[in-house]
Amino acid sequence: MTIRGRSVFGALLFFGGLLLVTYFGVSKSSARIDYRRFLDRKARGEQVQEIPPPSTGAANVMMAVGALMSLGGVVFIGVAVRDMAAQIGEAGSHAENQLQRELMQNRDPKPKP
């Protein structure tokens, strides 16, 4: 996989994981808020439709999956940055060696007319 491909894949993983964590975190909170409102209405004696207590098991699992995806994305981006830095260093080294070779060549002190 190319450096660009690793970077793009890492970014997709990172932001996709953040979206999963955010979505399921918000949905979990909303379910708790709705249930709390239901209990408050029921305590006041209002006629309300029964709501089961919120289950957080699936949301917690998906939040953990999202966190792992984000972590994997950071790893992919880190590997891509490491490889990019290595390529830049290699190009600089190659250019320096080329410059040294050109300086070592014997040249005529006077240019020809």
Predicted confidence at residue 48, as pLDDT, reads 81
Q: How far is CA 12 from CA 19, 79, 101, in A?
A: 10, 15, 44
In a domain, 62, yes or no: yes
* pLDDT of 106 higher than 80: no
Q: Residue 75's pLDDT band (boundaries 50, 70, 90)?
A: very high
Span 50-57, mean pLDDT? 84
Q: Give the integer Cα–Cα distance in Å for 97 and 50.
A: 78
In a domain, 7, yes or no: yes
In a domain, 8, yes or no: yes
In a domain, 113, yes or no: no
* pLDDT of 113 higher than 70: no
Read off the pLDDT of residues 13-53 as tens digits, 9 standing for 90 and up: 999 999 999 999 999 999 999 999 998 888 888 888 888 88
In a domain, 16, yes or no: yes
How many domains would you assign to the chain?
Answer: 1
Cα 62 to the chain's mean position, in Å?
16
Span 43-68, mean pLDDT? 88
